[in-house]
Structure 1
Amino acid sequence: MEYVDRYDDGARRWVADAIRKVEADTNRSSDTHLHVFPLPTHWGVNLYLKDESVHPTGSLKHRLARSLFLYGLANGWIGPTTTIVEASSGSTAVSEAYFARLVGLPFIAVMPATTSPEKCHLIEFHGGKCHLVQDPGTIYDESRRLAAETGGHFMDQFTYAERATDWRGNNNIAESIYAQMALEPYPCPTWIVVGAGTGGTSSTIGRYIRYRRHDTRLAVVDPEGSAFYPSWVSGNAAQTAHGSRIEGIGRPRVEPSFQPGVIDRMIAVPDARSIAAMRWTREVTGRDVGGSTGTNIAAAVALIQEMRSAGKQGSVVTLICDGGDRYRHTYDNDEWLAAQGLDIGPHLDDLRAFMTG
């Protein structure tokens, strides 16, 4: 009888301790606030913002990074000497840098050269290194190359996002939303609105809605230049596009984690409207939000207008994905908008008029 034993007692102890540290972070910070957006009360339609910007790394991607680390540790892909490599437009890399430092591992973020300097600074603040590429389409191959070169692990959020999170519960974002809505006037949302980035959030929420047999419908928003919306409309999973200016959502290709079958409606939002909605949200709520949150809000406003036109009451829930402080040199900069040929004025006027309708 022959056998091969690969058990490494020291490595197993390290993994167990790393999982404990990541789970401790969950215990400290997994839930986030649900804010009421101040709509006129006589409308009978309520809008809620799930504030993911209050996570330790300031964005929705903190949940994803935590799940990806636990998935990699439990699968035996991450050990005590593993270099973590990720392809990211910024926020996921910030969060993964945080968790890499938490468990004592080096981290390299492969990102488009257009990534905001604020995000690069945050990655470096958490101990990571930024590896910028001129062509966003090369970030996957470059990430694999660096992982092979360093003997590391390519986290590959765009493949594993939809499978690393337990969509049935375990305090995921969907379970948290429904628990927080329990005492509201319309506890089962008519719509939940999220962006399409990796596809992980929409997959988790869409599956949870069906698993728990809720009547909620899931709307997924997509910015200009992204492949998700035209792919969903045409059914062509090979759809490609030039890429999005709204960081954190939109992709030049349809990512493996994107699960179109869980989505009830997709909404394409022009970039100028996303940025206008970002600024308008700050005007109305005092909350400083980022561009992808603006995309969410723009779609939520459209759905609320549709509900009011149909004489329906109910609730809509969407996400604050991250804070506006990450975009001072871009979406919050009028010179940048002019250079991009974006006129947000008409959209701001329209959104301001929405509240008086």
Structure 2
Amino acid sequence: MSRAWVREAVRLLEADANRSADTHLHVFPLPAEWGIDLYLKDESVHPTGSLKHRLARSLLLYGLVNGRIGPATVLVEASSGSTAVSEAYFARMLGLEFVTVVPRKTSQQKIDLIEFYGGRCHFVDVPPAMYSEAERLAAECDGHYLDQFTYAERATDWRGNNNIAESVFSQLRDERHPVPAWIVVGAGTGGTSATFGRYVRYRRHPTGIAVVDPENSAYFGAWETGVTDYETGMPSRIEGIGRPRVEPSFVPEVIDEMIRVPDAASLAAIRFLRERTGHWAGGSTGTNLCGAFALISRMLQRGERGSVVTLLCDSGERYTHTYYDDDWLAEHGFELRAQLAAMDDFLRTGRYSPG
């Protein structure tokens, strides 16, 4: 394998990170008398539009420095979502072929995004077959299976190197509560919660790490019961988070709290966010907000002050025909009025539970 090519590939990936300023940290408006600040780290401003941009870069760097990716390596993934979009972007940057295994029922909008960056979709009829098929394809072409669900927790350097945790604490340095009481994230691969959980322990911060989980996901059950191979067998309706099985990158030992959030609450929260701030986000951001509101409610009941940080994971533009479409909501049995009323009440009374 050409070491010169690998050096240039690493340089290109690092240059991509350095070309843009760090993602913004927005303030969500809470009543001033509460003495609590809520921040949203806006990961939608990455070049590929989501939090997964960081993960994709880390996965490619991990493969490069471990000698698994060279100038002719075919990159393979099992993903129909934002991770595949971001990996396709970086593969094109390095001049590499990228193939992702997706369920045959994947929306054309997702397929178009992957193909826009030069990726190719390989279809399977049964979603659980994605993983074994990705392994088979990588072996067949002597390629590299990026395997986000296994490598997410180890591909990112949690001690520093401008990871998302280091970025958040750096941006909070001049705020009135520079060390947050809570950081709230969802679990897709489990890599983000692992990074935050390890970082706060390494830096000796008292910050709690809370993970929110949507309906049908296995992570909450695994954390609650300690059963590491917990499964639900059902897919999440909140894209980007929730899994029917516990993935290898999920590290429950570094999580302080898990909160189960109904899907209707997640979808109500993104409309509430847009109404109150103008920010337009996807469903996983709504799940994050519900968890943040619940923790802030708890802090108020205990007379605590401080800050809470969560993530704006991707833009709502990707969900105009689903989460923001009233006909789609009705077709899937979602009624949001009660959830929206509960969020309005939260800003008046300080009391909230996702339900």
Displacement, 1:275?
Answer: 0.5
Match of 2:44 in 1: 53
TM-score, reference length from structure 1: 0.95
Match of 1:309 in 2: 301
Match status 1:159 vs 2:150 = yes
Match status 1:286 vs 2:288 = no
Match of 2:243 in 1: 251
Match status 1:207 vs 2:190 = no
Match status 1:264 vs 2:264 = no
In 2: Cα distance, 1:208 partner to 1:114 partner = 38
Match of 1:240 in 2: 231
Q: Percent identity?
A: 64
Displacement, 1:193?
Answer: 0.1
Bigger mean CA offset, 308-317 vs 255-264: 308-317
Deviations 1:73-132 (A, max 9, x none): 111111111111111140000100000000001111212345443332211111111223
Match of 1:195 in 2: 186
The answer to whether the Cα contact below 8 Å between 1:84 and 1:100 also exists between their aligned partners in 2 is yes
The answer to whether the Cα contact below 8 Å between 1:227 and 1:243 also exists between their aligned partners in 2 is no
Match status 1:327 vs 2:319 = yes
User: Gaps spanning 5+ residues in structure 2: where?
Assistant: 350-355
The answer to whether the Cα contact below 8 Å between 1:100 and 1:107 also exists between their aligned partners in 2 is yes
Match of 1:181 in 2: 172
Partner amino acid, structure 2, of 1:201 = T
The answer to whether the Cα contact below 8 Å between 2:80 and 2:111 also exists between their aligned partners in 1 is no
Deviations 1:196-240 (A, max 9, x none): 110110000000000000010000011111110001101001111
Displacement, 1:30?
Answer: 6.5
Partner amino acid, structure 2, of 1:285 = T
The answer to whether the Cα contact below 8 Å between 2:270 and 2:285 also exists between their aligned partners in 1 is yes
TM-score, reference length from structure 2: 0.95
Deviations 1:141-187 (A, max 9, x none): 11112212222111001000000110001111000000101111111
The answer to whether the Cα contact below 8 Å between 1:97 and 1:128 also exists between their aligned partners in 2 is yes
- CA RMSD, Structure 1 to Structure 2 (Å): 1.2
Match status 1:88 vs 2:76 = no
The answer to whether the Cα contact below 8 Å between 2:261 and 2:291 also exists between their aligned partners in 1 is yes
Aligned positions, number: 348
The answer to whether the Cα contact below 8 Å between 1:116 and 1:329 also exists between their aligned partners in 2 is no
Match status 1:44 vs 2:35 = yes
Match of 1:135 in 2: 126
In 2: Cα distance, 1:222 partner to 1:138 partner = 23
